[in-house]
Amino acid sequence: MSATSWQGVSVAELERASHTAVPAQRTAFDGPFLLRAFLGGTGRANAASSLDPSPDANLPLRLARIEAAYRRAGLSPRFRSTPLDPPELEQALLDRGYRADEGSRVMAGPLGQFAAADPAVDVLEGPENAFLSVLSTAEYQSVARRTEKQQAAAMMMVPAAWLVLREDGQPAACAQVAVDGRLVGFFDIAVRPEFRRRGLARRIIAASAAWGQERGGTTGWLQVSAGNLAASALYEALGLREIYRYRYFLPG
């Protein structure tokens, strides 16, 4: 599969940008598979994924080596399945007892449709407590996930920022943004429960887009759980469209 948007952004380009925007402490290659390992927190920084959809005659032995590599690192093997998988991968993982999650959508679109600076937004150089306090209300923050996010700032190789929107003097919404050439990725978009339904998610994304646009970005992209219909509707209203989906396969 070679899904491409109206702007010509490809699955491969977005996958490379996603790996750049979410750093990992340890990386290695086994054939077409990129292995990434951190502290066992976030999925992307602790999973193996293929970067080449060609058939892989050595897949069974390769999967065994990848599993062994993660176990040596003290982590459970995890595979991130995208349109860049070799055609045999899904069945091979199912045969080995893995199960898939519900999956996520990767969406992209032109920044010019929604970028807007916001004077109520603070731009931070890292995930400070105000940022993390908002994020913790939207997703489960294990010690490993929180530590990975805190350490990631110093590991970034592209321009990045952590934005906090204040409402009534309180941190109300947050987002992380990373600029990789023309691509501007949005991550960790969250609004505190007591501030929801005020349009703050749209505002924090717009401010993040403006920050990325100032640094040469033209195309925004993000990932959202396939089951999060409310967030998907907002992103579609901003002009983002689904380019592809991915799933994680975990041991059963």
The answer to whether residue 6 is domain-embedded is no
pLDDT score of 4 more than 60: no
**What is the per-residue pLDDT across 222-243, written as a single tens digit (0 to 9) for each?**
999 999 999 999 999 999 999 9
- The pair of structure tokens assigned to 45 is 């920084």
Alpha carbon distance 207, 192 (integer Å): 17
Please list, in sequence order, all residues whose beta carbon lies within 8 angstroms of the beta carbon of residue 233, skipping any fewer than 6 positions away: none
pLDDT score of 215 more than 90: yes
Boundary (domain end) residue, out of 70, 90, 105: 105
The answer to whether residue 251 is domain-embedded is no
Alpha carbon distance 67, 59 (integer Å): 12
User: What is the count of structural domains for the chain?
Assistant: 2
Alpha carbon distance 203, 134 (integer Å): 15
| Same-domain check for residues 233 and 130 | yes
For residues 247 and 8, the model is more confident at: 247
Alpha carbon distance 104, 121 (integer Å): 28
What CATH code is carried by the domain that includes residue 128?
3.40.630.30
- The pair of structure tokens assigned to 141 is 């923050």
In what helix (H) or strand (E) does residue 244 lie, and over which residues does it extend? Answer: strand 241-251
pTM (2 d.p.): 0.94
Computed over every residue of the chain, the mean pLDDT equals 94
pLDDT band at 154 (very low <50, low <70, confident <90, very high): very high
**Considering Cα of 210, then 215, then 219, then 222, what sign does the dihedral take?**
negative
**What is the per-residue pLDDT across 112-124, written as a single tens digit (0 to 9) for each?**
999 999 999 999 9
List Cβ<8 Å contacts ≥24 apart for 56-65: 56/31, 56/32, 56/86, 56/88, 56/89, 58/31, 59/86, 59/88, 59/89, 59/92, 60/92, 62/30, 62/31, 62/33, 63/92, 63/93, 63/96, 65/30
Alpha carbon distance 216, 158 (integer Å): 12
pLDDT score of 5 more than 90: no
The answer to whether residue 81 is domain-embedded is yes
Within 13 Å and on the Cβ side, how many CA atoms surround 53?
11
| Same-domain check for residues 53 and 24 | yes
The answer to whether residue 4 is domain-embedded is no
The answer to whether residue 5 is domain-embedded is no
Q: For position 7, what pLDDT does the model report?
A: 59
| Same-domain check for residues 229 and 140 | yes
pLDDT score of 103 more than 80: yes
The answer to whether residue 252 is domain-embedded is no
| Same-domain check for residues 181 and 235 | yes
Q: The domain containing residue 234 runs over which residues?
A: 107-246
- CA 220 and chain centroid, separation: 13
| Same-domain check for residues 112 and 236 | yes
| Same-domain check for residues 62 and 73 | yes
| Same-domain check for residues 118 and 21 | no
| Same-domain check for residues 179 and 223 | yes
Q: For position 8, what pLDDT does the model report?
A: 77
The answer to whether residue 58 is domain-embedded is yes
Boundary (domain end) residue, out of 54, 88, 105: 105
Q: What is the mean pLDDT of residues 38-62?
A: 96
pLDDT band at 74 (very low <50, low <70, confident <90, very high): very high
**What is the per-residue pLDDT across 140-152, written as a single tens digit (0 to 9) for each?**
778 898 899 999 9
pLDDT score of 1 more than 70: no
SS3 133: helix
| Same-domain check for residues 117 and 224 | yes
- Contact between residue 220 and residue 111 where contact means Cβ atoms under 8 Å apart: yes
DSSP string for residues in 19-80:
HHHS--SEEEEETTEEEEESSS-SSGGG-EEES--S--TTHHHHHHHHHHHHHHTT----EE
**What is the per-residue pLDDT across 13-27, written as a single tens digit (0 to 9) for each?**
999 999 999 999 999
pLDDT score of 2 more than 70: no
| Same-domain check for residues 127 and 214 | yes
| Same-domain check for residues 120 and 151 | yes
Boundary (domain end) residue, out of 69, 87, 105: 105
| Same-domain check for residues 149 and 89 | no
The answer to whether residue 101 is domain-embedded is yes
- The pair of structure tokens assigned to 16 is 């490379």
Helix then strand then coil, % of the chain, to nearest 5? 35, 30, 35
**What is the per-residue pLDDT across 155-208, written as a single tens digit (0 to 9) for each?**
999 999 999 999 999 999 999 999 999 999 999 999 999 999 999 999 999 999
pLDDT band at 217 (very low <50, low <70, confident <90, very high): very high
